[in-house]
Amino acid sequence: MAIQPYQKDSNVSNPIKRIRWATQRVTGANEQKKRHSIIGRLHHRKVGSSEKKRESGEGSHLDGIHEETDTSTESGDQEDSRRRIFFNIPLPEDAKDEDGRPLAKYARNKIRTAKYTPLSFIPKNLWFQFHNIANIYFLFVIVLACTMLMHHAEQFFSIFGASNPGLGSVPLIVILFVTAVKDAIEDWRRTVLDNELNNSPVHRLVEWNNVNSSADNVSLWRRIKKGTTRGIMQMFRFFKSKSRRKSHDEKIYAERALDEPRPSGETMRTRHSVSSRTSFHSVQSRAEVDEIQMTPVPSPQPGQRGVTESSRLTSGERPGTSFSYEDDNLVLETAYGKLASPNGSNDESCPAPAKFYGNLIDPLKSVPGKAKFKKDHWKSVQVGDFLRIYNEDQIPADLVVLSTSDPDGACYVETKGLDGETNLKVRQALHSGRKIKHAKDCEQTEFVIESDAPQANLYQYSGAARWTQRDTKNPAEAGTQMAEPISINNLLLRGCTLRNTEWVLGVVVFTGRETKIMLNSGMTPSKRSRIARELNWDVIYNFVILFFMCLLSGIINGVIWSQGNNSLDYFEFGSIGGKPSLDGFITFWASVILFQNLVPISLYISLEIIRTAQAFFIYSDTFMYYEKLDYPCTPKSWNISDDVGQIEYIFSDKTGTLTQNVMEFKKCSINGLPYGEAYTEAQAGMQRRQGVDIETEGAKAHKQIAQDRIKMLEDLRKMHNNPYLHDDELTFVAPDFVTDLEGRSGPEQKLAAEKFMLALALCHTVITERTPGDPPRIEYKAQSPDEAALVATARDCGFTVTGRSTDGIILNILGEEREYTVLNTLEFNSSRKRMSAIIRMPDGRIVLFCKGADSVIYSRLKRGEQQQLRKVTAEHLEMFAREGLRTLCIAQKEIGETEYRIWNKEHDLAAAAIIDREDKLEVVSDAIERDLDLIGGTAIEDRLQDGVPDTIALLADAGIKLWVLTGDKVETAINIGFSCNLLSNEMDLIVFKVQEGSPGSAEAELDRHLASFNITGSDEELKAARKNHEPPGPTHAIVIDGDALKLLLEEGLRQKFLLLCKMCKSVLCCRVSPAQKAAVVQMVKNGLDVMTLSIGDGANDVAMIQEADVGVGIAGEEGRQAVMSSDYAIGQFRFLQRLILVHGRWSYRRLAETIANFFYKNIVWTFALFWYQIYNNFDCSYLFDYTYILLVNLAFTSLAVIFMGILDQDVNDKVSLAVPQLYRRGIERKEWSQKKFWLYMLDGIYQSLICFFMPFLLFRPATFNTSNGLDLNDNKRIGVYTATATIVVVNLYILLNTYRWDWLMLLLVSISILLIWFWTGVYTAFSSSDQFYKAAPEVYGELSFWVLTLLTVSICLMPRFTIKSFQKMYFPLDVDVIREQVRQGRFKYLDKYEAYVPPGKVPSAASSDVSQPAKAVPGTRTPLEDDERPIYPPSVAATGTTHNARSQNGSDGTDYTGHKPSFEQPRVSFDRPRPSFDRMRNSMDQIRPSYEASNDFTSAALLTRVESSHSDVHTSKARHGQSSLR
């Protein structure tokens, strides 16, 4: 905002200043250079950065904006990268070239994601295809075949024996053509989408001069490209109109999902529809925009006024920590003195005049008035254009918002197209541009925007608008130079959609490939499957074999020519080379052509076809279709499907992946009293661990909850007939809370309850949507589900947020309307771990409400106060966390008027900064969020997804190890682990308690645990671990937090930690950052040489998804960034079992068998030719007709092997899930190995011997005459004998290796076999076949042919058949046993299931789902006593032996551990029943001694010891060496 110098009497701030932080900024070495003051650049000033200069006025002081600039100079590149955009101002000389045109060249807004154009397709596609080494090899072979030498007078002949080079190129041409067609189809789809997007309509200001771009001079080359494209498009439309096509409505979802987006409920509305939600501001807003005529559209809602976008939680580093102060004496140095926290400050105040923000419109400027907004195409938009965007329209380019239909300057965008999030975000118009409404206003503006260079960070932008403010009263004056900073809050990004806002007017700053969405459109890192990597070596082996075969042929042929006096001298008319050495050289290259089929060129295209079909089957699997989101399992990387069948380790996020990320408010603690009834899945898991009959206990709890729910609803209705309370939406069941809210327990508890609910209703950034009805319905849209759950609970209890006024929030409190002025909102981000709202209450008081993580809030409480309350609340929060609930603390602080006025000035300066704006805001916010009073805590349940425990158990049975990498608390993760079968009673939990910065203690801890497994972490043990794929026994599990993990991932300790984890059944890493997630995946993947899969649903999971061999994204509540970066996208975690155990196993086994059979069939064919060379001096004569060589891989043997890779099944999907142990062959990589490769190669060599020498022995006596007296002993006829037998053997061999013999497979094998008879009969019927003419009737008419073929096939296949029979009878594999049991009918019971669900597993026991858990399995081992097997649920906070870097306060230094009595503290109205609290307290009392023995390693113990922000840090450092909480 443009800020004028402060007046001395200015003591009241302007309301509603909501600032967000760019939470993905990564601090770099040149950050200060990159983020230099834009305004400073405009003035070309050089100022110092010290605080003294700033206070004395030596620094930059521009219209009230205090700027600190770095003294370092900028590089030339940085000078050139920034941009200045001029609006109705002539370009300065330094911005023009010698011709007077703009010097800056900006990207066109036309986007082309397609690889090719009609002109570039052929050369570019061939260029890409010849990156394949096999294609280059076969092109080289064709070139050899076409090589000619002149002999005598103009006579040409082939020197390398290829009789028809044209036919020799057919296989390569077919492969190139098929691949090109596939690429063309894919690219055509992209082209169509590009054209639709580029030609989308937008209202652009025309008939005015945009000085930032010159006339578009279309070059000749662009004209040619455009003409070619138009011609092809017209041809396509012509043929498309002639052909019949299926209507859009008849498409099945699998087809429809490929060519159109799936609209959500919010995207179904169009701009021409009227929303059912009404707004009392709609009339007012229309009046204030001077009656702009437009189509009726939904207007902003009362609950959507002035709400700023919530901060995105990201993985980027931020300077400092959550606590940016070191001791209690810290005060904020400001330009106006020191900001302290006076308790008795003078609160007298007087109203201050409103700030003047300026106006971009020059009222003294005369304009022609011809400009108007006209509908145009996106591709016509240029930098510097004025655009008007209407409701439901997509944003065509990155633009700065000047004005909106909202009088407050707010607009609402949906960023689903950008980051996948469906919740609405708020953007604000520039203060100085809010009067720009019409085209004439745009003409009257005169200003310059100086902007950052294009960058990919979606959450960061720095710019400034600069103009001269003219005074209408004194038109002769030069005017005042003014500037307003532009942040990401003022920017609408391309790809977003305008929602609930009638219109927005803005100016374009980035177009086309320079927009943020295009800069972020990089693809997922390219991944290659393990088989593909190993396949390269097998191809190399074949090249080596080919080389030696050719070398042997060349040497022998050259030697024979050198000997003389042999048959060559009588039957040949001299050699081609003229001398033996050259003859051998030529023979070498002729052999390359002859034996070319040894290198399988068709293997690659066949694998592409197979993988494409497998991806289609995965996509079409209706059992992995998530109906709620209309989302099938979507393969995004088609070339790694076989890797899914070899997964040994799965790394999973928790929130939104194992859980639903649908938050339900369950419990709270207010003024030391717990409220709420719930029976959570984690609680059931903990009771199961204690040997409790959870079936009985669960039924009792659910019955009690149902009764309490009815009572609470009755009490709420009696207290206030809340029209916004819907019985089915109530999640907070606490009848005693209603009693306390009515005041029956005394005024103190009533006041505390009201204060608590008021904090929930005021401290948030939700958007309110009101749906008319009887009763009416109010819904809340928030960035995080947690925040929406908190506000919804306040609504249910009578504290309803009904909307927002221009400068505040409107509440309905038990039927009474009240308005609260929001002065500032300090929003949540991953660094602060808290958010605050500064509210002016109706009575004039200023109150700060703050909510955040327990350790963050506790460190900011008033020193020495509320000790008992803090202790009891901490224990309640720990109890809630043990139940698997997500906890937050609520606190408040009353601020004096003087204190706030001083702080707000610094806040305004920080908000106006361009350099380090986020850092300055964080420092200023940190100063005010101190000396808080604790109100209470909240507990929210994130329920497990359906089928998660069953899926985890099934994957464990398959031998897959699952690690959970989460940012949640340790206690929460442990109890979720028990509820979803990751942890069990029989496991010992290894909880790492490592003091930060102490690698020695970490190594000692590691050695101690390694010794219990009798290992030391040596290199030999690591080598043995790499070979051992057996799952560890369910005896141990590791729980570790991010601080300890940071130490254990260091080079010296990583190997030991890896081996320790290898010995444990489950590993839970808690409080870990995205970078740590990726580091853990990399450690396991590279350290153990295993296949890994990562699965998550949020942006913080992208790093590990991309690091793993296979990345799976869940389309959930946290947006679609994980989906966009993944290899496979699914709707629910439970679909992972089918993806891995069914499709993954099938794909791996099919591809492994296909590749082995491919190499086998090429060996048989090629070596049959090689054996023939023995008897013709290796002169590279052809035993077969040349067409046989061309068609052998293209037609005769391709169908069977390709469809083996597509359709073969050893067992069906239900059996694959019923017997997950079948998957272990993939983990052990037994389906494809070098041993299998060489066995198939040897089998092929053996069969090639039989296929050649059987006909050879038949013809060897040279007495073979037919009935007509003619013989058949020429090589072409012998070749028919050999080729036919070889083709039959190869196809039957493939059939023999196929598990599934259905009618389709038998038909394909039969067609492949009969095809050689068909081709021989047809081809030899024409005289153009030369010497091959009439070969078919001559050969097929002989009985010897049929007998020999039968004998050859039998002898070739007998060894394979015998060995397979012996193996299956005496050494059966697991799958052989299961297949036999299927034949016996032992899996008939699966027929009653549509999709197999493992029976007998424990179902979820969520508090909102009264499903009955299964009974405990009899015969299980009795759990050990606590003193024999202590359980250590760790905490996020530090103790005497652990350290937490996320906190920064001192400790009181006590060793107090007596926290158990706090549970028996007398409570108000103790006679009222609190079943859930008592039930949980009793459960905790059973295990409390083990925790006490663990040296206070609990949240409650830690938080009790946490002192306030004014604790004596020096004392703490003296005792602990450093602050225990930083």
Report the b/e string of 281-309 with b at 16+ CB within 10 A. Answer: bbeebbeebeeeeeeebbbbbbbbbbbbb
Give me the helices (H) in 506-600, please. Answer: 516-519, 530-563, 567-571, 580-594
Give me the helices (H) in 929-1073, please. Answer: 948-957, 970-979, 999-1011, 1019-1027, 1042-1048, 1051-1062
Our measurement of the distance from residue 991's CA atom to the centroid of its chain's CA atoms, rounded to an integer in Å, reads 30
SS (H, E, C) 213-240: CCCCCCCHHHHHHHHHHHHHHHHHHHHH
For residue 516, the model assigns a pLDDT of 85
Q: What percent of the chain has pLDDT over 70?
A: 72
* 175-207 per-position pLDDT tens digit: 788 878 877 887 787 778 778 888 899 999 998
Alpha-carbon distances, residue 1332 vs 38, 1184, 1279, 1316, 1339 (angstroms)? 83, 10, 10, 14, 11
Confidence of residue 1067 (pLDDT cuts 50, 70, 90): very high
What is the CB neighbour count within 10 angstroms for residue 324? 17
**pLDDT of 1112 strictly over 90:** yes
**pLDDT of 1383 strictly over 90:** yes
Query: Is the separation of the CB atoms in 1507 and 1452 below 8 Å?
Result: yes
Q: Which of 419, 441, 452, 653 is catalytic?
A: 653
Confidence of residue 1295 (pLDDT cuts 50, 70, 90): very high
**pLDDT of 268 strictly over 60:** no
Q: Which helix (H) or strand (E) holds 818?
A: strand 816-826
Query: Is the separation of the CB atoms in 299 and 285 below 8 Å?
Result: yes
Query: Is the separation of the CB atoms in 419 and 425 below 8 Å?
Result: no
Q: Which helix (H) or strand (E) holds 600?
A: none
Query: Is the separation of the CB atoms in 886 and 786 below 8 Å?
Result: yes
> Quick one: residue 110, left, alpha or beta (phi over 0 = left, psi -120 to 50 = alpha)?
beta
Q: What distance in Å separates the CA atoms of residue 848 and residue 1363, rounded to the nearest whole number?
A: 81
For residue 363, the model assigns a pLDDT of 86
- Residues marked as binding for Mg(2+)? 653, 655, 1097, 1101
For residue 180, the model assigns a pLDDT of 85
Q: Structure tokens of 499?
A: 């929602």
Query: Is the separation of the CB atoms in 1024 and 1055 below 8 Å?
Result: no
What's the DSSP call for residue 361? Answer: B
Query: Is the separation of the CB atoms in 1348 and 1289 below 8 Å?
Result: no
For residue 1119, the model assigns a pLDDT of 59
Sorted by sequence, the CB contacts under 8 Å of residue 1247 that are 6+ apart come out as 1164, 1286, 1289, 1293, 1356
**pLDDT of 1233 strictly over 60:** yes
- Residues marked as binding? 653-655, 787, 828, 851, 886, 966-968, 1071, 1077, 1097, 1100-1101
Task: Residue 535: name the closest of 1156, 1194, 1290 by CA.
Answer: 1156
Q: What percent of the chain has pLDDT over 90?
A: 31
Confidence of residue 525 (pLDDT cuts 50, 70, 90): low
Q: Is residue 400 helix, strand or coil?
A: strand
For residue 319, the model assigns a pLDDT of 33
What is the CB neighbour count within 10 angstroms for residue 446? 16
- Residues marked as binding for ATP? 653-655, 787, 828, 851, 886, 966-968, 1071, 1077, 1100-1101
Query: Is the separation of the CB atoms in 447 and 467 below 8 Å?
Result: yes
What integer is the mean pLDDT of 856-878?
90
**pLDDT of 765 strictly over 80:** yes
For residue 973, the model assigns a pLDDT of 78
290-304, 473-487, 1344-1358, range with the lowest pLDDT:
290-304
**pLDDT of 61 strictly over 50:** no
**pLDDT of 330 strictly over 90:** no
Task: Residue 782: name the closest of 729, 725, 733, 828 by CA.
Answer: 828
Confidence of residue 262 (pLDDT cuts 50, 70, 90): very low
* Average pLDDT score, the chain: 75
Classify strands 961-965 and 933-944 as parallel, antiparallel or unpaired. Answer: unpaired
Number of residues that make up the chain: 1526
Task: Residue 914: name the closest of 212, 43, 1519, 1499 by CA.
Answer: 43
Sorted by sequence, the CB contacts under 8 Å of residue 283 that are 6+ apart come out as none
**pLDDT of 404 strictly over 90:** yes
Q: How far apart are the first and last CA of the chain?
A: 35
Confidence of residue 1266 (pLDDT cuts 50, 70, 90): low
What integer is the mean pLDDT of 944-969?
87
What integer is the mean pLDDT of 412-427?
72
**pLDDT of 1523 strictly over 90:** no
Q: Structure tokens of 520?
A: 């972020």
Query: Is the separation of the CB atoms in 1123 and 1112 below 8 Å?
Result: no
For residue 791, the model assigns a pLDDT of 93
Sorted by sequence, the CB contacts under 8 Å of residue 33 that are 6+ apart come out as 70, 72, 74, 75, 78
What's the DSSP call for residue 1391? Answer: G
Q: What distance in Å separates the CA atoms of residue 697 and residue 362, rounded to the nearest whole number?
A: 75
Sheet of strand 1066-1070: strand arrangement? 634-635, 1128-1130, 1110-1114, 1091-1096, 647-652, 961-965, 1066-1070, 1036-1041, 988-991
The more confidently predicted of residues 1075 and 343 is: 1075
3-state helix vs strand vs coil in the chain, percent to 5: 45, 15, 40
Query: Is the separation of the CB atoms in 459 and 491 below 8 Å?
Result: no
In the block, tokens 């095809």 appear at 1315
Task: Residue 384: name the closest of 509, 514, 516 by CA.
Answer: 509
* Residue 833, strand partner residues: none
Q: Is residue 849 helix, strand or coil?
A: strand
Q: What distance in Å separates the CA atoms of residue 1110 and residue 1094, rounded to the nearest whole number?
A: 7
Dihedral pair phi/psi, residue 1356, rounded to 5°: -65, -45
Q: Is residue 6 helix, strand or coil?
A: coil
Per the annotation, the verdict on 653 as an active-site residue is: yes
